[in-house]
Amino acid sequence: MSCPPKALICGVSGQDGAYLAKLLLDKGYEVIGTSRDAQVASFSGLVKLGILERICVESVTLTDFRSVLTCLAKVRPDEIYNLAGQSSVGLSFQQPVETFESITLGVLNLLEAIRFMNRKVKFYNAGSGECFGNLRGEAATESSPFRPRSPYAMAKAAAYWTVANYREAYDLYACTGILFNHESSLRPERFVTRKIVAAACRIARGSKEKLKLGNLAISRDWGWAPEYVDAMWRMMQCERPEDFVIATGVLHRLEDFVEYAFKEVDLDWHDHVEIDSSLLRPTDLEGGSGNAGKAKSLLKWQPEVTFDRLIRLLVTEDMSSLKQT
């Protein structure tokens, strides 16, 4: 019998890492996940999905080349999924250096370690639709120019070009998934979508709090996270490495998200939301959506969870969790 394929997920403790780990396990992979300190990490997403005991975890500091090389030599993976690095756009304005280093150095060290080992390893890098900046009503494709408007987007753009350079210079199987916003109940509340849903559910259960938000006029292309990790896996099964935009192609205002979330718990959001100017970012995206036509054609991937169903899934999960406490 042949050995199962082995996948290394860097950033397995995050939302995408947890869902990707579950997907790969279901497909028969051996899954190894990394964390900066695996001995103390909670891996709450893996626990919530009931798969923690099925995954081997390794402590790796992606900004340290020796740590990365040691891990790859030990694990010898067939596929590497890099989902690590500081992932909050808002936080990147407060921690620009840490954000840039965690994203760009992590990618560079992984690629250099793969090149150094001289093994056939497939590499996936998590890119971001934030790299495109303001799209002025047009849906971004793989050929759209980058105009980043945050330290996070700047770092993701630099990582994208690092992957492209190593792919061309060293003939590596290395690709980037340029993913637009994708949500689930595994998101921490520092992400605005989870913040909104969690507050709406608490208020529906009797909380007297006010939900404080910044700019409600922005628009985003929101999808369902479990569908997006499936696209990641599909990219790694292609005959040759290519970059793909992954998105729904549908824009909604943040105000729409707030309205739908509160409507799901039979509340009028106007009664419970306050605008807080301190939450406004120095620069923000007015809106941007992606055109996933290439993914539909070559990967046979397309999203199925609509905007209203996405919010319903988030609210249902949060209300269920509140009832258990």
Q: How far apart are CA 152 and CA 95, in angstroms?
A: 9
| Two tokens, residue 249 | 């192609």
Residue tagged active-site, from 19, 152, 160, 166: 152
Catalytically annotated residue among 128, 144, 219, 289: 128
Answer yes or no: 88 catalytic: no
Give the burial class of 250: count Cβ atoms within 10 A of its Cβ; 0-12 exposed, 13-18 middle, 19 or more buried: middle
- Per the CB < 8 A criterion, the answer to whether 35 and 13 are in contact is yes
CA 62 to chain centre: 17
Catalytic site residue 130? Answer: yes
Tokens coding 10: 């860097």
Q: Are 115 and 73 in contact (CB under 8 A)?
A: no
Point out the catalytic residue in the list 130, 227, 259, 264: 130
Q: Catalogue the active-site residues.
A: 128, 130, 152
